[in-house]
Structure 1
Amino acid sequence: MVQIDASKKCILVQGNFDVLHPGHIRLLSFARACGDQLVVAVNTDSAMEVKSRVNEQHRLEMVTSLECVDHAFLTSDSAQAIVEKLKPYAVVKGKEFECRDNPEQLTLDKYGGKLIFGSGEFESNAEQYIKKRSRITSNLDFSEMQEYAKRHNVEPENLESVLNQVKDLSVLVIGEVIVDEYIQGTAVGMSQEDPTIVMTPNKTEKFLGGAAITAGHIKSLGAQKVSLFSVIGNDSAGEYTKQKIVKYSVEDELFIDATRPTPLKTRYRASNKTLLRVNQVRQHKIAKELQNDILGKITKIIHKVDLLVFSDFNYGVLPQPLVEAIAQLCQKHGIKVVADSQTSSQVGDISRYHNMDLITPTERETRVALNNPDDGLVILADKLTHRAKPKNLVITLGDEGIFIHVPNHLNNSWENDKLPALNRNAVDPAGAGDCFLAASSLALCVNASPWEAFYLGSLAAACQVGSLGNTPLSINMLEQAISESFK
């Protein structure tokens, strides 16, 4: 056990740190801010109730590598015993422990020590707390992927087999189509009349987004047949959608609703930075007659579908009665179903998608669905799992990567892991989530393990963000990334 400097406020944190994820890093950085030195007690393999995938020495090394940790050591002692020996100024635990029995409280009370509960605050970037390590020269850093592959027996030949099986799939994607417009220009400077950035446009590009690009990714990644169901307006953006989707070799069922414009999002960019985004959208729900038309057409072809994807941007195309009716159809026919429900400038609720094979909310979308700003990632994932009952849950964390939660509903347990954001020089983050969902869903549909599916999804997302605009990811690029990730 370490010797601490009695003249400094010592903060103690104890845990397994089985797979070090951003939730751990946030808690530890919060703990470090509560005092002058942070000491972390890492439980030994023998002290853990559940067998660890990562041996104790490696877990200790990962914790020690964090910038915010001053000292770390392995221990088989109880929390009370460690507090008795070190007598820290405070013990820090996750917010979820606030309403539980905390046996170290009695020992702390004996000498006036504090018990502090950290929240699930998520606005800071956990990457800043990791000590700088040398990285490979390419844009993709596979160092943590290789450790993940070892933990879960992910092998390149298995991934190759998965991609081959995908070629037999028929997939239906339903949700909002979005047209993404990029106006590139040169930032001239600040207006002298008012505090406004002035730019001179010199190039305009358009891309399909939303459910359309999800369908495009799925087709490009090898699915035999992809159908897109959506609602568009009677406008130029709708015409662009009809023309562009044909080039993706996607079969479309585009229903016209004259009361709704086709969602158009215009980004004004200069020097690879977005200065302003203007959204032209309506968010009212589509009429019941239109819902019935969509359901009727899906009912006629559902027996030919292997995978159904809800790509929900919460602009009204997927009212709850329609979602439930489609989900029941899929359950009746034994079809795998996945869902993504975005909450950005609009408000959504991923928890309304029940019993999905996979849901992929962002952390903010998870907290909004649960109205929970406090809990850490593990508890958040568990609570969302109890509410929505997905077979697999992935919380996306932007430039912190992904947090994976694979629940076992039979015995109320789970297994967690994480993967980093592989592309440290992302040109355009738009489409990362769509690409992750597409690749992961296809893999799950051919009975790949969740760990294999999310490995593929992470690689696909990393490849996608390397260029401007959301365009279908080439299967060749994904295969090349797979090969390089195992070198």
Structure 2
Amino acid sequence: MLSKKLSDLNQQKTPHILVIGDVMLDHYIFGNANRLSPEAPVPVVNVKNESKIIGGAGNVANNITALGGKVSLASVAGADDFGKEIKNILQDKNIHSDALFFDNSRSSTIKTRVLASNHQIVRIDRENLHEINSLLEQQIFEAVKPLISDADIIILSDYNKGLLTFNLCQNIISYANSNYKKVLIDPKGIDYSKYKGAFLIKPNRKELSETSRIENINNQEKLRAAADVIFKNTHTEHLVVTLSEEGMAILTPQSCEVLPVQATEVYDVTGAGDTVIATMAYCLALGFNLHEACQIANYAAAIVIKHVGSATTSIEEIISEIED
């Protein structure tokens, strides 16, 4: 039984996972909107409270700690007050962040979401998207090499904010492979060649369509064709494609299996992809096979999308969800 195995393995081992990727602040403003502005046809939001939580690769790391794992995070932030805030939040969450670098040439990424009655009114982004320079690229790679050696699994959480350059991705994947460590990719952008050699790539349907240039992936024939493009370009061993209300597909160059969605209620899908990749990595590190890891990640996603904003879950909650 899946829940029994999860409980047993979780008691035997504490996975150590290295997350490398773009970190950001998710800023939430909550209020009520009962009238339109006299200045423009937009709602007036009366602010009741607000919060800041760690987002992007930081949310992946936070999901891992919520599951009970040990996590190290390598990333870059702006040399500004928001960068200091990111560092403090990571420390408060017990996320090892000695490999968080501060770049004077960029501002920290902040996504401000304004919500009224649990509905998002607007999102405001502040960010720089230029790639890190070659010196910082080398500094980050040297910093993560010992972390790769110590970790059970490595996640590259790419939000296309300039950290995960082609050279840095290839150096990390090559070094991890030489140390017999699996690299899981949460991809962004249309060029997946920088992920060549990774153990697994996890796009959603839209991302798969964009990178394969195959539109309207709405059946297994198109899914297979799109996947074959990725396999040819990256030589990855596995693709896991999240399919929204249809669940997720697990593909190899020879096979395709679709796992049905487990969610019964959906309030907010923000951060659900982070939960999926974190849970998959955690379960693979425990010793589950990929099929089992994806099953458990499916249940984890079903839990977090019942909440507004980026949410996390625990092994106990997942076991309860499986047994319901």
TM-score of the superposed pair, with normalisation by structure 1:
0.62
Per-residue CA deviations over 1:237-275 (Å, capped at 9, x if unaligned) read 212211111122111021010211111000111111111
Determine the structure 2 residue equivalent to 1:226: 71
Counterpart of 2:61 in 1: which secondary structure?
Answer: helix
Alignment partner of 1:354 is 2:212: no
Alignment of 1:85-484 (within 5 A): 155-165=2-12, 167-223=13-69, 225-252=70-97, 253-342=99-188, 347-350=189-192, 352-373=194-215, 376-405=222-251, 407=252, 409=253, 413-420=254-261, 422-484=262-324
Identity of aligned residues (%): 30
State the shift of 1:353 in Å.
1.2
State the shift of 1:471 in Å.
4.0
CA distance in 2, matches of 1:205, 1:169: 30
CA distance in 2, matches of 1:195, 1:175: 39
State the shift of 1:302 in Å.
2.8
CA distance in 1, matches of 2:197, 2:286: 18
CA distance in 1, matches of 2:247, 2:216: 20
Counterpart of 2:186 in 1: which secondary structure?
Answer: strand
CA distance in 2, matches of 1:311, 1:218: 13
AA aligned to 1:255 is: F
| C-alpha contact (below 8 Å) 1:174/1:228 kept by paired residues | yes
Counterpart of 1:256 in 2: which secondary structure?
Answer: strand
Counterpart of 1:286 in 2: which secondary structure?
Answer: coil
AA aligned to 2:299 is: L
Counterpart of 1:278 in 2: which secondary structure?
Answer: strand
| C-alpha contact (below 8 Å) 1:349/1:365 kept by paired residues | no
State the shift of 1:303 in Å.
2.0
Q: Which has the higher contact order (CA 8 A, sep 6+)?
A: 2
State the shift of 1:351 in Å.
5.0
Counterpart of 1:479 in 2: which secondary structure?
Answer: helix
State the shift of 1:442 in Å.
1.9
Structure 1 residues 359 and 163: alpha-carbon distance in aligned structure 2, compared to 1, 3 A threshold? farther
State the shift of 1:366 in Å.
0.7
CA distance in 2, matches of 1:203, 1:475: 30
Per-residue CA deviations over 1:153-204 (Å, capped at 9, x if unaligned) read x633333344345x33221111111110111111133334432232222211
- The more displaced of 435-444 and 332-341 is 435-444
CA distance in 1, matches of 2:168, 2:141: 7
Structure 1 residues without counterparts, runs of 5 or longer: 1-153
| C-alpha contact (below 8 Å) 1:439/1:460 kept by paired residues | yes
CA distance in 2, matches of 1:229, 1:358: 19
Structure 2 residues without counterparts, runs of 5 or longer: none
| C-alpha contact (below 8 Å) 1:187/1:270 kept by paired residues | yes
TM-score of the superposed pair, with normalisation by structure 2:
0.92
State the shift of 1:314 in Å.
0.4
| C-alpha contact (below 8 Å) 1:340/1:350 kept by paired residues | no
State the shift of 1:231 in Å.
0.5
Structure 1 residues 192 and 400: alpha-carbon distance in aligned structure 2, compared to 1, 3 A threshold? farther
Structure 1 residues 236 and 473: alpha-carbon distance in aligned structure 2, compared to 1, 3 A threshold? farther
CA distance in 1, matches of 2:136, 2:82: 20
State the shift of 1:398 in Å.
2.4
Counterpart of 1:378 in 2: which secondary structure?
Answer: helix
CA distance in 2, matches of 1:236, 1:473: 29
| C-alpha contact (below 8 Å) 1:184/1:202 kept by paired residues | yes
Counterpart of 1:218 in 2: which secondary structure?
Answer: helix
Counterpart of 1:227 in 2: which secondary structure?
Answer: strand
State the shift of 1:206 in Å.
1.2
- Measured on the aligned residues, the alpha-carbon RMSD in Å equals 1.9
CA distance in 2, matches of 1:415, 1:356: 19
Number of residues paired by the alignment? Answer: 319
